[in-house]
Amino acid sequence: MDSAAGQILYPLHRCKTVHLVRHAQGVHNVAGEKNHDEYMSYDYFDAHLTPLGWNQVDNLRKHVKATGLSKTVELVVVSPLLRTMQTAVGVFGGEVYTDGISEQPLMMENVGHSDHLAVSSLNCPPFIAVELCREQIGVHPCDKRRTISEYRNMFPAIDFSLIENEEDILWKPDVREKVEAVSARGLKFLEWLWTRKEKEIAIVTHSSFLFNTLRAFGNDCHPNIKSEIRKHFTNCELRSMVIIDRGMIGSSESTTNFPGKIPRGPDVPSEAAD
């Protein structure tokens, strides 16, 4: 701690605000809660949201609008799985897409058996899919993604350019990613965030990814704050945090600092004067 009160002071331009969101309820969540073995079933390959999940999305969307986050978020980063992209688009996307709009829709109609109308990409932040924030990979078919071509047809306005492989080469049917590897991937993801110019970013991802990433933080905090950082996310929970670039990984120059002495002149501090 830098002070007895446990406070810390840091330059604003070395900070980012992140709004962490776990996806809404998926069909695999319902099945897995009844019987954990269901996570092994290919019936839940790249699981989509349930009707209850879409209700959760609608409620979070109302909250995001009521709090003003819909106007301050500059970028939405999303895991390239169906349930996260449905959640991200439903919460942070535009209004219902109608014929005659020149821009591509964020999501086509009825994606993932949702009976959901198409969503416009107008008047909302850009969306980018990033594999670093995927769920713990392997063994569970619900965590295996489709081809990028399929996703581009479903979500035309999401940017998939950072995903190198058309097929999901990361997912293995007999090897589950170790939690230590998920944590390391999460820290690498946070480093990647510092390559972005945006200062306020929403991230729509998964329970295990969030838990295993955030458990690396909070050791220098009050126990209550540590618990607040590390506790498991519920479906469609949003938690806002500030991340600090203490290692100068990639923070930009300040846009609000002012150098002073314009015009120049004597400025000896009063305590230094005779």
Q: Which of the residues are catalytic?
A: 23, 135
Which residue's structure tokens are 């480093």? 191
CA within 13 Å, CB half, 84: 32
- Do the beta carbons of residue 116 and residue 49 sit within 8 Å? no
Q: Give the closest residue to 89 by CA, choosing from 60, 50, 131.
A: 60
Q: What is the DSSP string of 104-171?
A: PPSB-TTTTS--PPPB--TTS--EEE-GGGPPSPSS-GGG----HHHHHHHSTTSB-TT---SS--S-
Strands 15-22 and 200-205: parallel
